[in-house]
Amino acid sequence: MDEIDVIDRGAAAIRAHLGGPFPKTALVLGSGLGKFAETLSDIRSVSYGDIPGFSRSTVVGHAGKLVVGNAGGRPVAVLQGRIHAYEGYAAQTIAAPIRILKTLGVECLFLTNASGGLSEKMQPGTLMIIEDHINFSNFNPLVGPNDDRFGPRFPDMTDAYDPGLRALLASAAREAGVAVTSGIYVFAIGPSFETAAEIRMYGKLGADAVGMSTVPECIVARHCGMKVVGLSVVTNLATGIAKQPLSHAETLAEAAKAYGRVERLLANFLAVLP
Ligand code: HPA
């Protein structure tokens, strides 16, 4: 079955399960942030298992549900859980959910994640608006035949994270009384955490936080012309800066602690989005 067929069947399955118009804004909730989906009103949802093209994450902390509802007075679609390149999925499998959202009319994609802080300034609990990214992996979700219906063979990545939406997120944070910083997110494919030497290198390259997600989705979304905005929750100091070994349990626990602020920020942002 070719890729376009899966995309069309995925979009049709979502329409059939959820009915009604599909939101123009979608959020991908990272590790420990899935609860946001439960704050929506007028919820309708469908399991990834019922959507062709949506694969279930194998990772703890990632439920596999697409939830549609209202937040901040606006219809939004929420991907409660994501798949990662380190789970061994092919480029097209990683791209499919984003392309299905595009087919359903999504124009703005809000990506969230958990990350490790690359300096003492980036303490656990820091919320970082993603200014730009570094793809420090050999993984690119657009590898393979290009489908011109979604975008060009060589997509531009200037302003990968939309400057207008970044400014809006910063002002929503001020209004909500939530402290945020802004910085560069480096994508390391994982699943092993980084070595101390790698972390020193990422810091020298100009990155502020490191993580194992978001960048593939951003690339697919920009390829098909969606606007992207990203928020990273720093859940630990990175290897070598941290005083103790890293663990996914710590990621989930620190994301849970930051969750209340993330919820307020997302709700405020969605309320002011044009
Ligand atoms: N490294 C990579 N990914 C992460 C980290 C980290 O330190 N923390 C949360 N996700």
Domain ranges of the chain: 3-272
pLDDT tens for 190-201 read 999 999 999 999
Q: Is 214 in the pocket of ligand 1 (CB under 6 A)?
A: no
CATH architecture of 3-272: 3-Layer(aba) Sandwich (3.40)
Interval 193-219 mean pLDDT: 97
User: Which atom of ligand 1 is the closest one to the Cα of 194?
Assistant: 1
**Whether the CB of 116 sits within 6 Å of ligand 1:** yes
- pLDDT at position 1, please? 47
pLDDT of residue 4: 66
Distance CA 38, CA 146 (A): 37
* Local structure of 185: helix, strand or coil: strand
187 pLDDT exceeds 60?
A: yes
Q: What is the pLDDT of residues 229-269, one digit of tens each?
A: 999 999 999 999 999 999 998 888 999 999 999 999 999 99
> For residues 118 and 109, what is the distance between their CA atoms, to the nearest angstrom?
26
Question: Angle at the Cα of 91 (from 27 to 67), degrees rounded to 5?
Answer: 25
Of 210, 215, 243, best ligand 1 pocket probe by most atoms within 8 Å of the beta carbon: 210
Quick one: which atom of ligand 1 is closest to the CA of 251? Answer: 9
- 21 CA distance to ligand 1 centroid (A)? 36
**Is it the case that residue 28 has pLDDT exceeding 60?**
yes
Q: What is the mean pLDDT of the chain?
A: 94
Q: What is the pLDDT of residue 57?
A: 74
The Å distance, Cα 17 to ligand 1 centre, comes to 35
Prediction pTM value: 0.96
- How does pLDDT run across 104-160, given as a tens digit for each residue? 999 999 999 999 999 999 999 999 999 999 999 999 999 999 989 999 999 999 999
Q: Cα of 55 to ligand 1 centre, how many Å?
A: 22
What's the rounded mean pLDDT across residues 26-54?
Answer: 92
74's enclosing H/E stretch is strand 74-80
